[in-house]
């Protein structure tokens, strides 16, 4: 028999007793679902790059999903995210008769709980990767002394991580304070010459592909080139993030005086 679940927005969503066909319009949710129940995702965005062998039909992007194509896939459930997806697109999917479950993920612990609820809504138990992520982040201790960082996400114009972001929450747990966290914008523009005092520049490879030759030279502080997926994705990537980001972002000894690679 169908059941009713409540998503992160407090909206009641009718789902079948057995969810076998899901369209995911969020890369992190695609990875989380496929890692938990391979083959469950039948439709995904063009940006859903994990797992690498994902065979789902592509339905364009997070901000411009192809509603007609999604409807044609006849999914049991469409999964979305409050930040990543636009309300008009989600309303169009609902108007077409589809069940839409929206997550709202702002920090690590809340994100892991949200993913657990989503998997339960799909009739899935807690997978190994979720339990492992919980344990790793619970055991992780922030660096001391704490670092002060700027996290550029774009160049020409320069833009960075600002306030109320998942990336900022990840960094905070690691002992890295985002110097632009007080910005009124989530992704403000900035001038490298006018930044608050900082001792670290975190340069991800997405959405802008920063490299050793494109990014570090614009700043006077040590830089760390990292996977953007480990900073911004939630799901199985949080296992990798807990293992890899501390050493990538918090160099010790002589390494603290030179750009981290």
Strand partners, 41: 22
Average pLDDT over residues 192-202: 97
In this model, does residue 193 exceed pLDDT 80?
yes
In this model, does residue 147 exceed pLDDT 80?
yes
Residue 12: how many CB atoms within 10 A of its CB?
8
What's the whole-number average pLDDT of the chain? 94
Output the pLDDT for position 1: 65
Q: What is the DSSP letter of 153?
A: E
**What is the CB-side half-sphere exposure of residue 67 using CA atoms within 13 A?**
18
In this model, does residue 261 exceed pLDDT 50?
no
Output the pLDDT for position 235: 95
Structure-model confidence comparison of residues 137 and 256, the more confident one: 137
In this model, does residue 50 exceed pLDDT 70?
yes
In this model, does residue 107 exceed pLDDT 70?
yes
**What is the CB-side half-sphere exposure of residue 250 using CA atoms within 13 A?**
20
Output the pLDDT for position 251: 57
- Read off the pTM: 0.91
CATH superfamily, domain 3-136, is: Nitrogenase molybdenum iron protein domain (3.40.50.1980)
The residue to which tokens 């614009």 are assigned: 218
CATH superfamily, domain 141-257, is: Nitrogenase molybdenum iron protein domain (3.40.50.1980)
Q: Where does the chain hold its CATH 3.40.50.1980 domain(s)?
A: 3-136, 141-257
Q: Which two tokens stand for residue 237?
A: 């990537």
- Find the distance separating the first CA and the last CA of the chain, reported in whole Å: 53
In this model, does residue 252 exceed pLDDT 60?
no
Output the pLDDT for position 176: 97
3-class DSSP state for residue 53?
coil
Percent above pLDDT 70 for the chain? 95
């Amino acid at each position: 028999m169908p059941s009713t679940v409540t998503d992160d927005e407090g909206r009641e969503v009718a789902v079948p007793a057995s969810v076998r066909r899901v369209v995911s319009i969020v890369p992190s949710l695609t990875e989380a679902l496929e890692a938990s129940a391979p083959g469950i995702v039948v439709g995904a965005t063009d940006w859903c790059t994990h797992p690498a062998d994902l065979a789902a039909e592509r339905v364009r992007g997070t901000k411009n999903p192809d509603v007609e194509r999604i409807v044609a896939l006849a999914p049991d459930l469409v999964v979305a995210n409050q930040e990543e997806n636009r309300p008009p697109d989600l309303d169009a999917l609902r108007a077409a008769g589809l069940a839409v479950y929206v997550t709202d993920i702002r920090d690590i612990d809340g994100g892991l709980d949200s993913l657990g609820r989503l998997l339960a809504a799909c009739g899935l138990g807690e997978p190994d990767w979720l339990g492992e992520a919980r344990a790793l982040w619970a055991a992780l201790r922030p660096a001391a002394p704490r670092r002060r960082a700027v996290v550029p996400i774009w160049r020409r114009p320069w833009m960075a991580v600002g306030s109320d972001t998942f990336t900022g929450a990840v960094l905070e747990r690691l002992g890295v304070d985002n110097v632009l966290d007080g910005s009124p914008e989530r992704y403000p523009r900035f001038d490298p010459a006018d930044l608050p005092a900082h001792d670290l520049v975190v340069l991800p490879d997405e959405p802008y592909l920063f490299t050793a030759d494109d990014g570090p030279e614009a700043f006077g502080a040590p830089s760390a080139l990292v996977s953007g997926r480990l900073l911004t994705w939630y799901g199985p990537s949080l296992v990798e993030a807990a293992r890899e980001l501390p050493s990538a972002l918090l160099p010790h000894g002589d390494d603290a005086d030179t750009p981290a690679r």
